[in-house]
Amino acid sequence: MKAPRSRGSQLYLLQLLIVLVGIVLVVAGPWRAGIVGIGLAFVIGALARSVVPIDHTGMLRVRGKFFDMIWMSILGVALIVLALIIPNQTR
């Protein structure tokens, strides 16, 4: 199996791996750490989208650069904030 050639596709697969690890953490128990990890993956994706040249974006590009950066930033920050402000449910 060949690795993706474009830097954006490589970063996208890294982002996907981080999201997968976050989902495993959510299922395994420490859900806050998993959700924060997923949020960080989206924030890192937004930063990557801002610096990767257009001819190397690959799978990292969905729409225009501005839309991709804003959407991934909002999603990532929202996930992090929600994971941190939801109170513990103790019984």
On the question of pLDDT at 69 being above 80, the answer is yes
50-83 residues labelled b (16+ CB within 10 A) or e (exposed): eebeeeebbebbeeeeeebbebbbebbeebbeeb
On the question of pLDDT at 62 being above 90, the answer is no
Query: Is the whole-model pTM more than 0.95?
Result: no
**How many C-beta atoms surround the C-beta of residue 31 within 10 A?**
14
Average of per-residue pLDDT values in the chain: 86
Grade residue 4 by pLDDT with cuts at 50, 70 and 90. Answer: low
Average pLDDT (65-77) is 92
